[in-house]
Structure 1
Amino acid sequence: MAPPPVPLTVLSRWYLYAIHGYFCEVMFTAAWEFVVNRNWKFPGVTSVWALLIYGTCILIVEHMYLALRARRCPMLLRCLIYTLWTFVWEFGTGLLLTQFDACPWDYSHFQYNFMGLITAEYALPWFCASLMTERLVIRNTLRLRMDRDRVEGDPADAGGGGGRREWGEQGGANGYLKVD
């Protein structure tokens, strides 16, 4: 009997969080460009730094989520904590990147900005993003499992489902990953 599937590694989860943040950044900037300038091309932009920034930030939020949930912290309070953390993280990474003239954002034109690196106008969007990140991204990512014994070309991968086995018989929900 094959060993049970194992949770994703920290690096795998970081990668998923980085890609999620990168995608959301591009979609947010595209939507912003449409709302502000009515640009039907929806040009979304970001920086390669966003991968490192979002991946690490969300991985830390994952650890906060597990700790706060274990202490039965209410969801709205957790999201407030995540939002505050996001401001601290955005300010810290922005401050570091400005030392190298590499900070891709500048909130100087917002009324309630601090050093152009963070702005209070983004409190509600960050709060909503933290709620969606906990409920959709982190919770589902933590449910993913890898079947380490699965090999490409396994007969269970053959098309049509005729060769498909049930999960406990070496097959997988989608070949290699299983969601609890």
Structure 2
Amino acid sequence: MGTAPEPLNPLCRAYLYAFHGYLLEILFTAIISGEDWAFRGATTLLSFSAYGTCGLALERVYVWLRNDCCLLTRCVLYTLCIYLWQFSAGYALGCFGACPWDFSGFRYNFMGFVALEHSLIWFVGSLLLEKWVIANVLRIRLDEPWKAKARPMPKFALKDD
């Protein structure tokens, strides 16, 4: 027959996580700004790599702990990872003047890169990320490319009536 379908490689999975995070950042900033429904959110292409690597890190946490920890514990760990990643990415992007977010206006912010007020959003977001995104991305399999079987061409001939 053929070989068993292969799971997506890490680069493909990182792309899916990055695209998901990038889209959600645009939606989040558009909804928070509350200006209109055109979803003119603020982001940068450099954050694409941050979402991809964070998604892979959260995927590893999921794989390591899914049988050993309850969902609540995993979501708390995901939230902590998201804060760490958000701060690290914000700090790195800030060094290039490309950080699209500034949480300096929030009461419980740290250097303007993270705000404790977002903890419930990250907690619920990590729950949805595990259940809808990570679990399904890990289920995607790539089969061999389809190839038509070589068959002889049909012969058309006129028959006597």
Q: How many residues end up aligned between the 2 structures?
A: 149
| Mapped pair 1:139 → 2:129 | no
SS class of match (1:103):
coil
CA distance in 1, matches of 2:4, 2:82: 36
CA distance in 1, matches of 2:92, 2:38: 32
- 5+ long unaligned stretches in structure 2: 150-161
- Structure 2 counterpart of 1:18, which letter? A
Among 45, 50, 56, the residue aligned to 2:47: 50
Aligned twin of 1:99: 95
- Aligned 1:108-127 pairs, distance under 5 A: 108-127=104-123
- Aligned 1:85-96 pairs, distance under 5 A: 85-96=81-92
1:106 Cα offset (Å): 0.9
Q: Percent identity?
A: 46
Give CA-to-partner distance per residue, 1:105-143, whole Å, 9 cap, x none.
Answer: 111011110110110011010111100100000000000
- 5+ long unaligned stretches in structure 1: 156-180
1:87 Cα offset (Å): 0.6
Give CA-to-partner distance per residue, 1:1-21, whole Å, 9 cap, x none.
Answer: 111111111111011111111
Aligned twin of 1:130: 126
Aligned twin of 1:3: 3
| Mapped pair 1:59 → 2:42 | no
Q: Which has the higher contact order (CA 8 A, sep 6+)?
A: 2
1:41 Cα offset (Å): 3.1
- Structure 2 counterpart of 1:59, which letter? L
CA distance in 2, matches of 1:149, 1:42: 37
Q: Assess if the C-alpha contact under 8 Å between 1:17 and 1:54 holds in 2.
A: yes
Aligned twin of 2:159: none
| Mapped pair 1:28 → 2:28 | yes
- Structure 1 counterpart of 2:46, which letter? W
Q: Assess if the C-alpha contact under 8 Å between 1:2 and 1:149 holds in 2.
A: no
Structure with larger Rg: 2
Give CA-to-partner distance per residue, 1:15-70, whole Å, 9 cap, x none.
Answer: 11111111111111222232xx4x24332232112211111101100000000113
CA distance in 1, matches of 2:80, 2:5: 35
Of the structure 1 ranges 81-90 and 22-31, higher mean CA displacement relative to structure 2 is found in 22-31
Q: Assess if the C-alpha contact under 8 Å between 1:87 and 1:118 holds in 2.
A: yes
1:103 Cα offset (Å): 1.7
Give CA-to-partner distance per residue, 1:131-173, whole Å, 9 cap, x none.
Answer: 010000000000000013435xx47xxxxxxxxxxxxxxxxxx
